[in-house]
Amino acid sequence: MEFLEFLEQTGLATFIRESSSFLAFPTFLCVHTLGLSLLVGANVVVAVRVLGVAGSIPLQPLERLFPFMWLGFILSVLSGAGLAIAKATTLVLNPILLVKLVLIAVAMPLVWLMEKKVFRNPDGFKEAERRDGKIMAAALLVLWVAVMIAGRLIAYSATILGT
C-alpha cells in the first residue's frame, strides 16, 4: 500500500488528478479512449473478416491495420497508467480493473498470434478461413467486448462493489 501511496503522490499523478485547468484528466481519458478505439476498432475489422464476413474483401490488405492496433495499445497503456496512478490507492486494487488487465493480458498475445499465424505465415490466408483463425477471431471479439465493459464499469465500481 505504501508503494501505491507513493505513486499517487508523484508529480504526474497530482497533475492528472488536480490540474488547475481541469484538462489533464480529460486529456488522459481522451487519449485512452482513442488508443482503445484504434486497438479494438482495427481488431474488430480483421476478426470479422477472418470469421468470413465480407468474404469478397481480400484479407491480405488488412495486415496494414496491425500497426494501428499496436499504436492503440501503446496509447492505451501509457494513458491508462497515468489514470491509474492518479488514483492508485483506490483504483489499482479494484477487482474490476484487475479483471480488465487480465483480459488484456489474454487478448494481446492473441493479437500477436493472429498477426503471426494469419498474416506472416505463407499459408496464413488459407488458415484464416480455417478453424484456428476463426477461433482466434471469435475469442478476440469476446475479449474486447469484455474489456470495454470492464473499463466502463470501473467508473461505477464504488457503487457496484459497495466501497
Beta-carbon contacts of residue 44 (< 8 Å; ≥ 6 apart): 141, 144
- The DSSP call for residue 129 is T
> How sure is the predictor about 125, in pLDDT bands with cuts at 50, 70 and 90?
low
CA 116 to each of CA 26, 82, 121, 131, 133: distance values in angstroms, whole numbers, following the listed order: 36, 31, 6, 16, 11
User: Grid coordinates 476478426 are at which residue?
Assistant: 47
* Cβ contact 86:17 at 8 Å: yes
> How sure is the predictor about 54, in pLDDT bands with cuts at 50, 70 and 90?
confident
Question: What pLDDT is attached to residue 69?
Answer: 97
Cα distance between residue 43 and residue 9, in whole Å:
36
> How sure is the predictor about 123, in pLDDT bands with cuts at 50, 70 and 90?
low
Q: Does residue 67 register a pLDDT over 90? A: yes
Q: What crossing angle do the helices spanning 131-154 and 24-50 adopt, rounded to 10°?
A: 160
> How sure is the predictor about 147, in pLDDT bands with cuts at 50, 70 and 90?
very high
- The DSSP call for residue 22 is S
